[in-house]
Structure 1
Amino acid sequence: MSSIDIRHAHSLPVDGARKAIEDVAAKLSERFGLQSNWVGDVLNFNGSGVDGAIELQPGQVHVTAKLGFLLSAMKGMVEGEIQRVLKEKLG
């Protein structure tokens, strides 16, 4: 099992960052078929072969995920897609 740990800085107000994270989750859902839900300032997501969270912190977001066997082989691609979408939505 592989894991992903990404921190991405942002300068958005809380509401703007929360909306951006929802946009990130929507993109990841399209790409990887993930389901997501908010618990406080953490957007939990899961799907076939992945389980993780995007935590909204002051000035940054912290993405963590555990990848199952099949997605572990594509860790670089999954990580790259998450970083690309974070940059697109959070700057």
Structure 2
Amino acid sequence: MAELHIVREHTLGLAKARKVAFKWAEQAEQDFAMQCSYTEGRQGDEVDFVRSGVSGQLQVTKDRFELRAELGFLLGAFKGTIESEIVKNLDALLAPATAPKKPGAKKSV
């Protein structure tokens, strides 16, 4: 079995991290047909996820996301692709929101 271990540090605090983790779980259910269960705790939360060939957990704290997953034999061959997709999705959710750029004033010629 292939294993994934992804860690991301953040400065969101627990309340905002929960929102990100919940959104991640919703995306995993929608995009990858995962069955996710979300458990809130005092110091952090846990998202358990499973589908045929994959099982794992996302641990969420005030300053860290830690994902561990086991891939079955068939999906193990795609470990690199699966890992890069998870990293891309998680990083996109953790990216700070950028303010929309205001159009600059145009000079008259």
TM-score by length of 2: 0.77
**What is residue 69 of structure 1 aligned with on the other side?**
73
Alpha-carbon distance in structure 2 between the residues aligned to 1:9 and 1:80: 17
Q: How far off is 1:81 after superposition?
A: 0.8
Q: What are the ranges of 5 or more consecutive residues in structure 1 without an aligned counterpart?
A: none
Q: How far off is 1:79 after superposition?
A: 0.5
**What is residue 89 of structure 2 aligned with on the other side?**
85
Choose between structure 1 and 2 for higher RCO, CA contacts under 8 A separated by at least 6 residues. Answer: 1
Alpha-carbon distance in structure 2 between the residues aligned to 1:19 and 1:8: 15
Offset from partner CA, 1:1-43 (integer Å, 9 cap, x none): 1000010111112121111111112222223210111233111
Matching residue's letter, 2:38: W
Query: In the TM superposition, what are the counterparts of 1:1-91 in structure 2 within 5 Å?
Result: 1-39=1-39, 40=41, 41-91=45-95
TM-score by length of 1: 0.91
Q: Percent identity?
A: 34
Offset from partner CA, 1:33-81 (integer Å, 9 cap, x none): 1011123311110011100000012311000000011110111111011
The structure with the largest helix share of the pair is: 1
Instruction: Name which one, 1 or 2, has greater alpha-carbon Rg.
Output: 2
Q: What are the ranges of 5 or more consecutive residues in structure 2 without an aligned counterpart?
A: 96-109
